[in-house]
Chains A and B, each alone.
Chain A
Amino acid sequence: MVLTHIQQKSNVPFDRLKTYISELLELGLIQDEALPKLTEKGLQYITEYEKVLDFMKLMGLTYR
């Protein structure tokens, strides 16, 4: 996905998006800064994140 597409979908200012992309690269969750793609680790993180969101929903907790 091209960075501008990510920016449109996330509605985040471009300079802040670049910071987030750098952080995600450092953490090994994505690869390739120009055309970011999820790594295996990133995929695992999203799976865990969705599990916890599901858990919070089942427990009646609201998270925005």
Chain B
Amino acid sequence: MANLGRKLALGVTMLVASFAMTGSQKEAQAAYISQFEINAYLECALSDDSSVLQACSCDVSGGEFCRCGTTCCDSWVMDSCERVNYYYRPPELPFCLEYCDYYIFFCVECGCRLGIET
């Protein structure tokens, strides 16, 4: 009886965990962060052959940002981040009015950093 109880508890726990994971993934899909138009880059210039440039952009986007070992950007991943240089300049003026030329580093936490496959 006790054994049945433990199995039942384990089953309920797994059921709750699976719902929780599904919910988490749906929310993650909604959390969409991608490159900005000005200058978004976390460029990967990795190559096995030094004569060939293999470059890619580390877009951080909904449903893709927790990639554990599947892209050439992986060795750059610190969570999943992109760096944006803000340089806002009104089209009618030759220079920016207020603040400009600053970097923002956007990072999305990823379970894969903690060794959890996502």
A binds B: no
